[in-house]
Amino acid sequence: MRGLHVKLCNLPATAAACGLVLVASACSVAGADTESSAHVVTIGYQSKTINTVTAGTLLRERGYFEEELERIDPDLEVDWQDYDTGAPITAQMLAGKIDIGSMGDYPLIINGSRAGTGEGGDSMIAVTGYNARGALNGVVAAADSKIAELADLEGKKISASVGSAGHGTLVQALDAAGLDPTEDVSVENQDPSVGASSLQAGSVDAVAQFVAWPALLAFRDDARLVYDGGRLGVPTLHGTVVRNEYAAEHEEVVKAFLIAQQRATDFLHEHPVEAAEIVAEETGLPVEVVYLYNGRGGVSTFDTSLKPSQVAAITQDVPFLKSIGVLEDDLDVDAFVDDSLLREVLGADYDAAVAETGNPAAITGRDAVCHRAVKDAATAGEVWVEGEDEPRPVADARCLLRTLDSVREDGGTVRASYVPDAVTGTRWFADRMIWLADGDQLVPLATRETAEEYADAHPGSREITIDEAIERAAR
């Protein structure tokens, strides 16, 4: 780990006061050098929420922030604090114990509402990653469960982190399915890891969470995707928040953070596999899961700019969060969202970034089996073969199936294969999709809901196994 300096409270009496979460700038000891706390910038992040890695795990491991701080003041140190969700980061920021934090859109709103937007409040200053349709969130049920769609959850227990983006998606999805989120289901407020254990133990029937938990549970074969957040068609995002008081006093430090975040974003685009490997090593997540979201054509698009569509989505979320009782106070979104420092950092490139909606880390190259260029993001996929450094690009679902057949014929082993859902466009694991045969078309669908929608619109299509799909594609 390069360039990381963590300032710890190391006296017994102080350790008890600091608790499990060490906040260097908040701890003071009689006789200690109290001035040193002014030289510590405290960053709150969520290592396993891989949509924030450019302001968290990847940024930390690359050492970019420390490198930028070195140019400002060699004595500045960084205290990185890791959390499972955004809620405790908000709490620590309100207490003045975290200076800069990254979190999802719903925690962002709650943060702004509770902190306020004035001199003593907080501001959202950048985006880490986003999905224009909301596909970063999802609902999964146990792999052997009879639950096929959201409607099947009536009367069931669902684990969610209340106030999180995953919880918000669940509430909106249940409402769209005709279920009352407060009366027709029981929501258990649990951290993601607790929810995963609860699902395995059978104490809950489903888990509604944010990236990367739905895919992690599916990849482990512990769960099956029941609802794809991309069905909502509403942007979901994670972003960077700063305490306004800290930004006013240490503007150059905040700019340094934004420069470092942009460097981490560029690194992820230029070296997606290496970036995924770094995050996987530091978090314990399977690299195949990290790459699903953060790789080429990933579910998550990494772009620091604040786009009008994202601000509009946050604005629309405020009354919704108030209606479900998660938000007590209103939020002036226009006052909360402040891209002024990011504009200074990116300069003339900023407006171009705002206008760009495609994933900068697109799947490109040549499909070695179908012998054609890979250039359509709506159909492009990848096959990652054991022993190969890079996933193989494939032009579409049929080419993916033919590539899988080719790997089998060669005696190879597939680590993971990725292809978009034919209805929502959400990238998912090909071997965990529902496959339909529609005439000569072989169609991948990530959930039972999208499979039924496709089948209703295409009479005569029928469900087949992926092995049958591979056999058909190989003919």
Q: What's CA 235's distance to the chain center, in Å?
A: 12
Last residue of a domain, one of 231, 248, 271: 231
Last residue of a domain, one of 320, 335, 355: 355
Distance CA 263, CA 276 (A): 16
Ordered per-residue pLDDT tens for the chain, 475 residues: 333 333 323 323 323 333 323 233 333 223 333 233 568 999 999 999 999 999 999 999 999 999 999 999 999 999 999 998 888 999 999 999 999 999 999 999 999 999 999 999 999 999 999 999 999 999 999 999 999 999 999 999 999 998 888 998 999 999 999 999 999 999 999 999 999 999 999 999 999 999 999 999 999 999 999 999 999 999 999 999 999 999 999 999 999 999 999 999 999 999 999 999 999 999 999 999 999 999 999 999 999 999 999 999 999 999 988 888 888 889 999 999 999 999 999 999 999 999 999 999 999 999 999 999 999 999 999 999 999 999 999 999 999 999 999 999 999 999 999 999 999 999 999 999 999 999 999 999 999 999 999 999 999 999 999 999 999 999 8
Asked if residue 219 and residue 243 are part of one domain, the reply reads no
Q: Is residue 6 part of a domain?
A: no
Q: Is residue 5 part of a domain?
A: no
Q: Is residue 7 part of a domain?
A: no
Q: Is residue 3 part of a domain?
A: no
Q: Is residue 20 part of a domain?
A: yes
Asked if residue 242 and residue 348 are part of one domain, the reply reads yes
- Report the amino acid identity of residue 48: K
Nearest to 138 by CA among 220, 85, 208: 208
Domain range enclosing 427: 366-474
CA dist list (Å): 233 to 132, 224, 292, 408: 7, 21, 20, 37
Asked if residue 169 and residue 114 are part of one domain, the reply reads no
Q: Helices 272-283 and 287-294 meet at what angle, rounded to 10?
A: 130
Distance CA 13, CA 2 (A): 30
- Report the amino acid identity of residue 7: K
What does the block give as tokens for 475? Answer: 């003919």
Do 64 and 264 meet the contact criterion of CB atoms below 8 Å apart?
yes
Asked if residue 124 and residue 19 are part of one domain, the reply reads yes
Length of the chain as a residue count: 475
Asked if residue 374 and residue 346 are part of one domain, the reply reads no
Asked if residue 210 and residue 249 are part of one domain, the reply reads no
- What pLDDT is attached to residue 37? 58
Nearest to 205 by CA among 214, 213, 195, 215: 195
Asked if residue 370 and residue 349 are part of one domain, the reply reads no
Q: Is residue 167 part of a domain?
A: yes
Asked if residue 446 and residue 316 are part of one domain, the reply reads no
Asked if residue 336 and residue 261 are part of one domain, the reply reads yes
Asked if residue 344 and residue 393 are part of one domain, the reply reads no
Q: Is residue 253 part of a domain?
A: yes
Last residue of a domain, one of 199, 231, 263: 231
- DSSP H or E stretch at residue 327: none
Distance CA 183, CA 176 (A): 15
| CATH code of the domain containing 347 | 3.40.190.10
Q: Is residue 293 part of a domain?
A: yes
Please give the angle made by the CA atoms of 126, 48 and 131, to the nearest 5 degrees: 45
Distance CA 53, CA 260 (A): 12
pTM of the model: 0.90
* Strand 434-438, strand 366-367: pairing: unpaired
Asked if residue 336 and residue 202 are part of one domain, the reply reads no
Contacts of 244 (CB under 8 A, 6+ apart): 117, 118, 119, 120, 121, 122, 123
Q: What is the dihedral of CA 468, 470, 473, 475, to 10 degrees?
A: -80
* Strand 206-210, strand 366-367: pairing: unpaired
Distance CA 349, CA 356 (A): 11
SS3 278: helix
Backbone angles phi, psi at 454, to 5 degrees: -65, -45
Work out how many domains the chain is built from and give that number: 3
Contacts of 386 (CB under 8 A, 6+ apart): 412, 413, 414, 415
431-440: long-range contacts, CB 8 A cutoff, minimum separation 24 = 431/466, 432/218, 432/219, 432/224, 432/225, 433/466, 434/463, 435/463, 435/464, 435/465, 435/466, 435/468, 435/469, 436/461, 436/462, 436/463, 436/464, 437/461, 437/462, 437/463, 437/464, 437/468, 437/469, 437/472
Q: Where are the alpha helices (DSSP H) in 307-420?
A: 308-323, 333-336, 340-346, 349-355, 397-409
Distance CA 182, CA 109 (A): 21
- What pLDDT is attached to residue 158? 98
Do 171 and 158 meet the contact criterion of CB atoms below 8 Å apart?
no
Do 294 and 302 meet the contact criterion of CB atoms below 8 Å apart?
yes
387-396: long-range contacts, CB 8 A cutoff, minimum separation 24 = 387/412, 387/413, 389/273, 390/273, 391/273, 391/291, 391/295, 391/296, 391/416, 391/418, 392/368, 393/296, 393/363, 393/364, 393/365, 393/366, 393/367, 394/367, 394/369, 394/370, 394/419, 395/367, 395/370, 396/370
The answer to whether the bond into 353 is cis (omega within 30° of 0) is: no
Asked if residue 242 and residue 112 are part of one domain, the reply reads yes
Q: What's CA 257's distance to the chain center, in Å?
A: 20
